[in-house]
Structure 1
Amino acid sequence: MYEEDDYLMLSGIQHFYFCRRQWSLIHVEQQWQDNRWTAEGQIVHEKADNPYIKEKRKNHFLSRAMPVSSPSLGLAGILDVVEFSKNETGISVEGKKGKWQPTIVEFKRGKEKKDNRDIVQLVAQAMCLEETLDIQVPYAYLYYHQTNKKVKISISDELKHEVHDLTEQMHEIYNQRITTEAEFHKNCKECSLIDICMPRLTKKRVNINSYMYNHLYEDLI
């Protein structure tokens, strides 16, 4: 169990899964820089993160910008949208009659990924919600704005184990204040931190004269 002062940002697990150097720059060095993709993401989340927008129907209501935390993971953050549906196996909610089952809906700017970066973040959110409300969350949803697609994700034990492993590594690196080495790949050019990270320069030691020559040559062609 982690103390509250040791909690890390819940949203960081997606960065950590995708690129540990990116996570280190943001969460260890406290560096950030926006680009087109981060700006679009903020617009997509603007409505979802607004706690003053209320939506309810007879057997459903939405809670926006819900704070959650997990002592076992050492994470804390804000959930985009939690939909509560009337269900006798659910929990009591202040000001509401009956029992209610919560389901997370996490909003994403783009489309489904080939890897699990969005999924591990969603599972970590579900685990935090389970500890916050003391209830089991069997599934949750990822909503992709670009494709207008809502994807159901089962919160399996296997995924929970993966999240536990990732968060342990996050805490270890954070406590040691390590900035991990760069791993240059095709997605680096779209990262908002590329000018801070400089992956082609920091991935390995290079002869500075060769590096300058190569980049000057690239600018000429």
Structure 2
Amino acid sequence: MTNSSQPDETIALSALQHYLFCARQCALIHVEQIWSENIFTAEGRVLHEQADKPLAESRRGVRTVTAMPLSNAELGIAGVADVVEFHRLEAERAERAYPVEYKRGKPKAHRADEVQLCAQALCLESMLKQSIGEGALFYGKTRRRRVVAIDAELRALTIGTIGAVRALVRDGRTPPARYEPHRCDSCSLIDDCRPQMLGRHLSAKAWFEAQLED
């Protein structure tokens, strides 16, 4: 028997970042199952290649695990963490999890990357039964970590985003296109989305079907 208190759909952690970047992009990927690669996604894939290989090693009191599967059944989210460090707490004779998410480029003005990191922390808290106060984002362009506090504000934004993505997936409809150069021109799905050409109520899938009919 299914637990009615748990969500029916499992939301991918990456969908949260996609949604905050662009709700239409999120729907194209997670509803219409459309994906394309460009130079930016290729750079991101290369950056993730090392972290995507399952590995565990210890150095100077820190145990590092890569490609760690994550889930939180109560929130209905799941994914894979690039890196989770387990910092040894000598006083407590225990370890504290510390998620590290790898991103290409540099820190952004919006909080999409932070939300994805926070979602990883929420999964780790559920799995390990411990509180996680911070994590880090590592950006390929700066080659530096940026520490992120997993505070109440970020947690609320993350939980709200999970709900919004779940509603988007359940609705099964792709939001209308709206061309914004600073965002659209860097998106790998711009040729599939066609924000400057598609009608406001025509999905990318419907557009392709119309082309085939013609």
Q: What is the TM-score normalised by the length of structure 1?
A: 0.84
Tell me: CA distance 1:65–1:202, structure 2 relative to 1, closer, same or farther (3 Å).
same
Query: CA–CA distance in 2 between the matches of 1:126 and 1:151?
Result: 15
Q: Please give the alpha-carbon distance, in whole angstroms, between the structure 2 residues aligned to 1:88 and 1:12.
A: 37
Q: CA deviation at 1:59?
A: 1.3
SS at match of 1:101: strand
Distance 1:89 1:126, change over 3 A: farther
More helix by share: 1
- Confirm whether residue 20 of structure 1 aligns to residue 23 of structure 2: yes
- What is the identity, as a one-letter code, of the residue corresponding to 1:2? Q
**Number of the residue aligned with 1:77:** 79
Is 1:111 matched up with 2:106? yes
Question: Structure 2: how far apart are the matches of 1:150 and 1:185?
Answer: 29
Matched, 1:181 2:137: no
Q: Tell me the CA shift for residue 15 of structure 1.
A: 0.4
Q: Name the structure 1 match of 2:210.
A: none
In the alignment, the residues of structure 2 paired with residue 138 and residue 67 of structure 1 have an alpha-carbon distance, to the nearest angstrom, of 20
- Compute the displacement of 1:165 (Å): 1.0
The yes-or-no answer on 1:171 pairing with 2:158 is no
Give the C-alpha shift of residue 29 in structure 1: 0.5
Q: What number of residue pairs does the alignment pair up?
A: 196
Matched ranges for 1:1-221 at <5 A? 1-3=5-7, 6-52=9-55, 54-88=56-90, 98-186=93-181, 187-202=183-198, 204=200
| Deviation, structure 1 residue 72 | 3.0
Q: Deviations over 1:42-65 (max 9, x none)?
A: 10000011113x431241110111
Higher Cα Rg, which structure: 1
Distance 1:203 1:18 in 2: 21
1:12 and 1:89 map into 2 onto residues whose CA distance is 38
Output the amino acid matched with 2:33.
Q
> Matches of 2:37 and 2:167 in 1, distance apart?
27
Letter in 2 for 1:29: E
Q: Is the 8 A contact 1:183 1:203 kept in 2?
A: no
Inter-partner Cα distance in structure 1 for 2:199 and 2:130: 44
- In structure 2, stretches of 5+ residues that fail to align are 202-214
- Percent identity between matched residues is 39
- Tell me, in whole angstroms, the C-alpha distance in 1 between the residues paired with 2:199 and 2:38: 22
Q: Give the gaps of 5 or more residues in structure 1.
A: 91-97, 206-221
What is the rounded CA distance, in whole Å, between the counterparts of 1:89 and 1:7 in structure 2?
Answer: 37
Map Cα deviations across residues 160-180 of structure 1 (whole Å, 9 max, x no partner). 111111111111111111111
TM-score, normalised to structure 2's length?
0.86
Question: What letter is aligned with 2:9?
Answer: D
Q: CA deviation at 1:203?
A: 5.7
Which segments of structure 1 move beyond 3 Å, counting only runs of 4 or more?
A: none
Question: One-letter code of the match for 2:170?
Answer: N
